[in-house]
Amino acid sequence: MIEIDGSIASGGGQVLRTAVGLAAVTGKPCKVFNIRAKRRNPGLREQQLQAVKSVSRLCRGKLIGAEIGSREIEFEPGVISEKEVTVRIATAGSVGLVLQALMIAASVAEVKIRIEGGGTYGKWAPPVAYIDKVLGNFLKEMGYEFDVKILKEGFFPKGGAEVEVCTRPASWKPVEILKRGGVLNIGGVSAASLSLKEKKIAERQVDASQKILYEYFKTLPSVETSYSPTLCPGSGLQLWMDTESLLRIGESSVGELGRRAEEVGREAARRLIREYEGGGVDSHAADQLLPYLALAGGRIKVNGVTDHCRANIFVIEKFLPVKFKVEEKIIEVVRAE
């Protein structure tokens, strides 16, 4: 039984998601305590609860202590044999965060994941479009391919998203991303509720972001707009940029009640510029890539080694025979002796 203190580093839910995902991949049982200890409302919330339950169903595991508010769980994984798993999120909890755990586990199998409920955009969580267009771009280079379909967007406070992800078993290959290179193109997707179409919220987000990005890069971004019937009004903008080194950088912004669409567009554009100026893998991909980097091998340059990175490194080294070598902004996987 691998025991992990969930309060390490930033003390968030990522420790739990990585641990449960890798437990399913390796077959090693784990106990995670002090779950989300440093958060204002510690313990399991809806999105963490559904993440661990769905991974357990995927591998027919045994799960103890999985309930709202629980600060400790034990997980004994079985064999990943399910071909389909359905996740139901009762709140606007992040679909992207649920997928973080599930997609680690599903990397060894052909699985159809269907998520009903939750949010496709939200504060402090990766949009589903980011997982699809940015993280997915990296993972394809590493030998892990999957398809994402956003059937219905979900926004705070009601959620109500519908998302399907189909994974294929990974054929891991090392990746090396150390240089940024020049900008090849800029893309994105601007999503909003159908009820906001008359106000052209999605288009206004795009226009505001394009002005800033064209002024900086002299490249006109190609950003799609989409409207979806949702349980409550909301919007989000996900941008990404391809560079000569095959590095894709992503950033986003989320609409809120009383916030103008133009502010959402400008914020996403300025964030993307900051990430580009950092010269490495964007700050969101940096920690999300680490479990896959450990499985595939290689090294990446990041814009900063965050607490999320350190927490993930701690957890990954518990499950896999690897060590991470961190020198300034370079993170490299080496096999443990």
In DSSP notation, 54-81 reads HHHHHTT-EEES-STT-SEEEEE-----
Residue 101 identity (one-letter amino acid):
A
In a structure prediction context, what are the per-residue pLDDT tens digits for the chain, which is 337 residues long? 999 999 988 778 899 999 999 999 999 999 999 999 888 889 999 999 999 999 999 999 999 999 999 999 999 999 998 999 999 999 999 999 999 999 999 999 999 999 999 999 998 899 999 999 999 999 999 999 999 999 999 999 999 999 999 999 999 999 998 888 889 999 999 999 999 999 999 999 999 999 999 999 999 999 999 999 999 999 999 999 999 886 799 999 999 989 999 999 999 999 999 999 998 899 899 999 999 999 999 999 999 898 899 999 999 999 999 999 999 899 999 987 6
pLDDT of residue 279: 87
Task: Kindly tell me the burial class for residue 110, based on how many C-beta atoms sit within 10 Å of its own C-beta (0-12, 13-18, 19 or more).
Answer: exposed
pLDDT of residue 337: 64
pTM for the whole structure: 0.94
Q: Which is catalytic among the residues 17, 36, 299, 308? A: 308
284 belongs to the catalytic site = no
Residue 44 identity (one-letter amino acid):
L
User: What distances in angstroms separate CA 1 from CA 12, 102, 148, 319, one per listed residue?
Assistant: 21, 21, 34, 11
Helix (H, G, I), strand (E, B) or coil at 113: strand
Domains present along the chain, CATH in parentheses = 2-177+282-321 (3.65.10.20), 183-278 (3.30.360.20)
> Distance between CA atoms of 48 and 43, rounded to whole angstroms?
9
